[in-house]
Amino acid sequence: MKYQIYGRSETGSDIIEYLFHELSIDYEFIEVDEKNVKSDEKILKINPLGRVPMVKLPDGKFLIESLAIVYHLLKRENHLLPSTETEMNEFHQIMAFMSSSFYPIILLFYHPDHYVSDKNSEDLITKSQNILHRYLNFIEDKIGEFVIGNELSAADFYLFTLLFWLEEDHFLENYPKIQNFYNKMLENQTIIKVRNIQNERKTV
């Protein structure tokens, strides 16, 4: 049986869809409507947390959490990983940082209503914005041509997905190395291909 990705364009499922293409793994995409994700019984049975991405594995089991899905794919293919032990340590560190710190704070910034009452919303936006800048500085200090060393890895697709949400709100403007990385990833063939597929899905 083919893999199935449950997701929606411009959400965390982009990370997974980029990797399926980059690793040449066949899949079917199941569109999950934002309005249904927390109420559709079928979705909640798979993921009681009511979030995407989720993946149906060829053995019929489901996997949730972007980090776990990325590691599942990398273990299967043993590709898109750095080659030295030092770089592998950096890879694990940045993957943990992105999934457990950077991704959640972006959600706080864009969806304050999911976390606090209206009267506290502005405060949450300001505080999460400050933390976002601290995180962007952390990345700016580390990043070179790619997230890890001089080779493309899965971390680049993960980071690009998160930066894509921030870019349109001018978050990247004072981070020249991050902006440079972002511009280069916009020309990555896998990203171009997946974005075209996503646009085609929108018009169907």
Where on the chain is the footprint of ligand GSH (CB under 6 A)?
11-12, 37-38, 50-53, 65-67, 99, 103, 107
Task: Specify the residue, 54 or 191, whose C-beta has the smaller distance to ligand GSH.
Answer: 54
DSSP for residue 172: T
Instruction: List the end-to-end C-alpha distance of the chain, in Å, as a whole number.
Output: 25
Q: What minimum distance in Å lies between the beta carbon of 86 and ligand GSH?
A: 26
Residue 61 beta carbon to ligand GSH: minimum distance, rounded to whole angstroms: 16
Both structure tokens of 165: 């949400």
Of 95 and 185, which CB lies nearer to ligand GSH in the complex structure?
95
Cβ proximity to ligand GSH: between 67 and 88 the closer is 67
Least gap, CB of 103 to ligand GSH (angstroms): 6
CB of 72 to ligand GSH, least distance (A): 12
For the CB of residue 52, give the shortest distance to ligand GSH in the complex, in Å: 4
- Rounded CA separation 204/202 (Å): 6
- Closest to ligand GSH by CB, 38 or 201: 38
Quick one: 53 or 82, whose CB is closer to ligand GSH? 53
Q: How far apart are CA 131 and CA 113, in angstroms?
A: 18
Cβ-count burial 119-145 (b if 16+ within 10 Å, e if not): eeeeebeeebeebbeebbeebbeebee
Burial class (CB in 10 A: 0-12, 13-18, 19+), 44: middle
CA atoms of 184 and 94, how far apart (whole Å):
19
Residue 97 Cβ vs ligand GSH, minimum distance, rounded to whole Å? 12
Enumerate residues 6+ apart whose C-beta is below 8 A from 43.
Answer: 6, 32, 36, 37, 50, 54
Q: Which is nearer to ligand GSH, 8 or 82 (CB)?
A: 8
Nearest to 104 by CA among 34, 197, 112: 112
